[in-house]
Amino acid sequence: MAIRLERYREIVHGRAGARFLEADLEGKLLRAGELSSPCRLCERRCGADRRGGKTGSCGVPGARVSSEFLHYGEEPELVPSHTIFFAGCTFKCAFCQNWDISQDPAAGIEMAPASLADRIERGGGINVNWVGGDPTSNLEYILRVMRELRDRDMNIAQVWNSNMYLTEEAMGVLDGVVDVYLSDFKYGNDRCARRLSGVDRYFEVVSRNHRLAAGQCEILLRHLVMPGHIECCTRPVLDWVAANIPNDRLRVNVMDQYHPDHMVLREKEKYPELCRRLRPQEFLEAYEHARRLGLDLV
């Protein structure tokens, strides 16, 4: 396990060489633009004419940076991570703890790619952590920032922090520019995903994308343990991951920080099982299950 951790540190510190520096960014920018109008960036495939000013199901009118700063609260091997929070998200999670950002696509400010590259260059982070909400709707903009970083010969690792509900085409654009997928695998079934995040075909899409990600680079996978969802979500997710993702490309963070927020607090009768914090015994059950599966745990 120590060897695996050191490998991750090499990657997220840029010592392995950031992959975007050698990528065909012009070609990827062209492809990202094609996928944006009609929009096929996330698996909702809403078909919005984003170049014509339409916003589609995510509501994102264009890249808006809600905040950007050196983050010291991520997994230890990522710290300090220059984290870029975008407004808007492809999910509508009832329990979202960043709902003021994720559910308001107009939040934040527009920032020229060169200006954001300036901040990254001066920031002192060991990687760039693209998050939201979710970064998927901003793929073309992110590639433009990467091009600015490449022109400055900045060897800084790129972390894609995502709910992993991208289309296969969008995953193809990321191939060769992402160094680590900081991925989220929430649900073990489609019923819970539809009820709590408003998305269809969740397990099919997210499991497919984790397979694709494992073929591209390293994965640091997060699973948030939620009260009342250990049997329906936590166990199936961890079982699938252990059986399908090579352990030499994977580290797993079983997370215990769930707390009621957003719609769970406003409509308690709709989400009764989520109206409390996780009990220590519930988290221990989830963690021990992951450990027994032999997963490399953060």
Domains and CATH numbers, the chain: 2-292 (3.20.20.70)
To the nearest whole number, what is the mean pLDDT of the chain? 95
Compute the distance between CA of residue 161 and CA of residue 181 in angstroms, rounded to an integer.
6
pLDDT tens digits along 65-81: 999 999 999 999 999 99
DSSP structural state of residue 243: H
Are residues 163 and 91 in contact, defined by beta-carbon separation less than 8 angstroms? yes
pLDDT at 12 over 80: no
3 state DSSP class of 147 = helix
Give the residue-averaged pLDDT of 144-162.
Answer: 97
Compute the distance between CA of residue 256 and CA of residue 282 in angstroms, rounded to an integer.
9
One-letter amino acid of 271: Y
Give the residue-averaged pLDDT of 84-91.
Answer: 96
- The pLDDT > 70 percentage for the chain reads 98
Size of the chain, expressed as the number of residues it contains = 298
Greater confidence (14 vs 92) lies with: 92
Burial (CB count within 10 angstroms: exposed 0-12, middle 13-18, buried 19+), residue 75: middle
Q: Read off the tokens for 75.
A: 């997994």
pLDDT at 2 over 60: no
Give the residue-averaged pLDDT of 170-191.
Answer: 98
pLDDT at 10 over 90: no
Q: What count of other Cβ atoms lies within 10 Å of the Cβ of residue 53? A: 9
pLDDT at 160 over 80: yes
Greater confidence (31 vs 55) lies with: 31
Compute the distance between CA of residue 51 and CA of residue 62 in angstroms, rounded to an integer.
9
Compute the distance between CA of residue 41 and CA of residue 136 in angstroms, rounded to an integer.
7
pLDDT band at 196 (very low <50, low <70, confident <90, very high): very high
Asked which of 31-40, 52-61, 190-199 is least confident by mean pLDDT, the reply is 52-61
pLDDT band at 53 (very low <50, low <70, confident <90, very high): confident
pLDDT tens digits along 230-248: 999 999 999 999 999 998 8
pLDDT band at 3 (very low <50, low <70, confident <90, very high): low
Give the residue-averaged pLDDT of 22-39.
Answer: 97
- The pLDDT > 90 percentage for the chain reads 88
**What pLDDT is recorded for position 112?**
98
**What pLDDT is recorded for position 4?**
63
Give the residue-averaged pLDDT of 140-166.
Answer: 97
Compute the distance between CA of residue 93 and CA of residue 196 in angstroms, rounded to an integer.
5
**What pLDDT is recorded for position 70?**
96
All residues at 6 or more sequence positions from 126 whose CB lies less than 8 Å from its CB, including other chains:
12, 13, 14, 78, 79, 80, 81, 156, 157
3 state DSSP class of 250 = strand
All residues at 6 or more sequence positions from 219 whose CB lies less than 8 Å from its CB, including other chains:
180, 181, 183, 210, 213, 245, 249, 250, 251
pLDDT band at 192 (very low <50, low <70, confident <90, very high): very high
pLDDT band at 176 (very low <50, low <70, confident <90, very high): very high
pLDDT at 290 over 90: yes
Question: Can you name the residues that pair with 131 across neighbouring β-strands?
Answer: 85
